[in-house]
Copies of this chain bind each other. A is one copy, B any other.
Amino acid sequence: MNLLTQFENTLKLHQLSVTKPRLKVFEILEQHGLLTMNDLIKACADIDRASVYRTVESLETIHVLHKVYSGFKYKLELSDPFSPHHHHIVCTRCKKAQDISKDRLETILSIIAKENNYVLYGHVVELTGLCSDCREI
């Protein structure tokens, strides 16, 4: 089953209808991976700002996408299982973001959630530092 179908099923599961704005936002994020709200709005040319905001909010609620914060702004990306990228390490100087491997990290996170008696819905892990290139300058 492809991602799009999976997405539509998720919408239905949450009793949300399959609409043009929702499909568009999903498609754009699927293509681009990590976007600012502004870029997303621009990329969704024929969709109204307000609808993009509303779509992002719904899709976040049903855990299809999430916000990733670094510095002042946030970016948007698809959540697992629609995308495998959950964690980043961002260079303070050149602003590049690279993914970090999840396995050990998520083990720890789930242990922590259990200890605190939480049912885990989502998690954001952002590390900031100097990448090796920038350190040499």
Chain A residues at the B interface, C-beta cutoff of 8 Å: 57, 67, 69, 72, 74, 89, 91-92, 98, 100-101, 104-105, 108-109, 111-113, 115-132, 135
Contacts and interface: CB of A to CB of B under 8 A. Distances in A.
A100 B118 CA distance: 11
B119 A130 contact: yes
Q: How many copies does the complex hold?
A: 2
A125 B123 contact: yes
A126 B127 contact: no
Contacts of A112: 89, 100-101, 104-105, 127
Contacts of A109: 105, 125, 127
A134 B102 CA distance: 28
B125 A121 contact: no
